[in-house]
Chains A and B, each alone.
Chain A
Amino acid sequence: MNEPLVIITIEALITVLVVLNAFAFATLWERKLLGRFQARYGPNRAGPVGYMQPLADLLKLVFKEDFVPEGANRVLFQIAPLISVITAVTAIAMIPFGDPIHVDGYTIQLVGANVSVGLLVLFALSGLATYALILGGWASGNKYSLLGAARSAAQLVSYEVAMGLSVVGVLMISRSMSLVDIVHGQESSTWYILLQPVGFIVFLVAAVAETNRPPFDLPEAESELVAGYHTEYAGMKFAMFQMGEYVSMMVISALGATLFLGGYLGPWLPGFVWLVIKIVVLLFLFIWMRATLPRLRYDQLMRFGWKLLLPIATANLVITAIVVAVFFQT
Chain B
Amino acid sequence: MGERIFFAIAAFGVIASAVGVITLRNPFRAAVALIVSLLSVALIFLLERAPFVAMIQVIVYAGAVVVLFLFVIAYLGDKPPAVGPDPLARYQVLAWLVIIGLGIEGFLALGNSRLPGIRANPFQVSDIGSPRAIGRAFLDSFVAEFEGTSLVLLVAAIGAVLLARRAVLGERGR
Contact mask A141-172 → B, CB, 8 Å, 1/0?
Answer: 00000100110011011001000100000000
Is there an interface contact between A127 and B51, defined as CB atoms closer than 8 Å? no
> Given that A124-B63, A138-B28 are known contacts, is A153 also in contact with B55, CB under 8 Å in the complex?
no
> Given that A116-B51, A138-B74 are known contacts, is A177 also in contact with B131, CB under 8 Å in the complex?
yes
**Which B107-153 residues have C-beta < 8 A from chain A?**
130-131
Closest Cβ of chain B to A303, distance in Å, is: 14
Give the chain B neighbours of A146 by CB distance below 8 A: 74
Closest Cβ of chain A to B81, distance in Å, is: 19
**Residue A248 interfacial (CB < 8 Å):** no
Is there an interface contact between B62 and A153, defined as CB atoms closer than 8 Å? no
Give the chain A neighbours of B32 by CB distance below 8 A: 76, 135
**Residue B58 interfacial (CB < 8 Å):** yes
**Residue A131 interfacial (CB < 8 Å):** yes
Is there an interface contact between A120 and B63, defined as CB atoms closer than 8 Å? no
Give the chain B neighbours of A127 by CB distance below 8 A: 58-59, 62-64, 67
Is there an interface contact between B74 and A150, defined as CB atoms closer than 8 Å? yes
Give the chain A neighbours of B67 by CB distance below 8 A: 127, 130-131, 134, 153, 156-157
**Residue B12 interfacial (CB < 8 Å):** no
**Residue A288 interfacial (CB < 8 Å):** no
**A150 CA to B28 CA, complexed, in Å:** 12
Contact mask A170-189 → B, CB, 8 Å, 1/0?
Answer: 00000001000000000000
Give the chain A neighbours of B55 by CB distance below 8 A: 117, 120-121, 123-124
**Residue B35 interfacial (CB < 8 Å):** yes
Closest Cβ of chain B to A144, distance in Å, is: 12
**A150 CA to B74 CA, complexed, in Å:** 6
Chain A residue nearest to B69 in the complex (CB): A153
**A116 CA to B134 CA, complexed, in Å:** 14
Give the chain B neighbours of A156 by CB distance below 8 A: 63-64, 67
Closest Cβ of chain B to A271, distance in Å, is: 26
Which of A120, A137, A153 meets B56, CB within 8 Å?
A120
**Residue A281 interfacial (CB < 8 Å):** no
Which of A120, A149, A153, A177 meets B59, CB within 8 Å?
A120
**Which B1-51 residues have C-beta < 8 A from chain A?**
28, 32, 35, 51
Is there an interface contact between B131 and A160, defined as CB atoms closer than 8 Å? no
SS class, residues of chain A in contact with chain B: helix
Closest Cβ of chain A to B36, distance in Å, is: 11
Closest Cβ of chain A to B166, distance in Å, is: 19
Give the chain B neighbours of A128 by CB distance below 8 A: 58, 62-63
**Residue B75 interfacial (CB < 8 Å):** yes
**A275 CA to B64 CA, complexed, in Å:** 31
Give the chain B neighbours of A138 by CB distance below 8 A: 28, 70, 74, 78
Give the chain B neighbours of A116 by CB distance below 8 A: 51-52, 130-131
Give the chain B neighbours of A150 by CB distance below 8 A: 71, 74-75
> Given that A150-B75, A153-B70, A177-B131 are known contacts, is A115 also in contact with B63, CB under 8 Å in the complex?
no
Give the chain A neighbours of B74 by CB distance below 8 A: 134, 137-138, 146, 149-150, 153
**A163 CA to B91 CA, complexed, in Å:** 49
**A240 CA to B51 CA, complexed, in Å:** 30
> Given that A120-B52, A153-B71, A157-B64 are known contacts, is A131 also in contact with B59, CB under 8 Å in the complex?
no
Give the chain B neighbours of A177 by CB distance below 8 A: 131
Closest Cβ of chain A to B122, distance in Å, is: 21
**A177 CA to B70 CA, complexed, in Å:** 30
Is there an interface contact between A124 and B131, defined as CB atoms closer than 8 Å? no
**Residue B100 interfacial (CB < 8 Å):** no
Chain B residue nearest to A153 in the complex (CB): B71
Is there an interface contact between A117 and B131, defined as CB atoms closer than 8 Å? yes
User: What would 7 A/B residue contacts be, using CB atoms closer than 8 Å?
Assistant: A120-B55, A127-B58, A134-B67, A134-B74, A150-B71, A160-B64, A164-B59
> 6 smallest A-B Cβ distances: which pairs?
A127-B63, A120-B55, A153-B71, A124-B58, A150-B74, A153-B67
